[in-house]
Structure 1
Amino acid sequence: MPLSEHEQRMLEQMERALYAEDPKFASALEGTGLRTFTRRRVYQAVAGFLVGVALLMGGMIAKLTWVGVAGFLVMLACAVLAVTGWRKAGRPAEAVPPGRQGRLARRHQPRKGKVMDRIEERWQRRRDEQGQ
């Protein structure tokens, strides 16, 4: 279930407050390490695909069927890894067109439950305490 506009605004306010209070901690939670790891894995899969092509061609030239089949299997496995890894890596938030941000955010949002209610209540109490 997607977040409402009010909930999205509240979440953005909490993120800004977190960055203001502790930017080092906020940047650690950002998740750029996972994106870098996934992209590195995609590049390795592409290199593996090229090795598979070389094995396939080498097997054909040397007339060794098992080497050609092994090369094909390496190519297939690396292609699957590259495609799935590329989808997981996603695009950084700056690269997402403004019109699609809402749709992408809604698709990947967890369901709202008791946890979100408690966080929102705490946030409201905190804002009320700071305002007084």
Structure 2
Amino acid sequence: MPLSEHEQRMLDQIEQALYNEDPKFANTVRQTNPAVHYKRSIVQASIGFVVGISLLMGGAILQQVIVGVIGFIVMLACLLWGLNAWRRVAGGGEAAAQPQANDAEPKQRRRQQRPGMMNRFEERWRRRQEGDER
């Protein structure tokens, strides 16, 4: 429901007063978009991934196994961190992680409509035992 003109003017006045009173806080509140945070996380994870590759390659060149293992762990952690942030930016978020109860119902209906391979084998076996081969 859109705001009326009067409510919009009042909101603008409150926002302007807040900005005049504490511009740093107002700027922080304006920029608290979760997508910005997750995009920043993706950039940080990408940088960490490159650092991990560098450590891995440095460990291989210097023949230091522990440095290579640490590089691999850093790469893996940054990859998971970046993919998690990417999923949240793309809109997967919490809704994708938690399947809804309604999703199970169509799967059950499909199973009832189309029997599985084992059910078909059992049905064929039963028909053979009864002497009704096709």
Q: TM-score, normalised to structure 2's length? A: 0.48
The structure that has the greater radius of gyration is: 2
Greater length-normalized contact order (CA 8 Å, ≥ 6 residues apart): 1
Q: TM-score, normalised to structure 1's length? A: 0.48
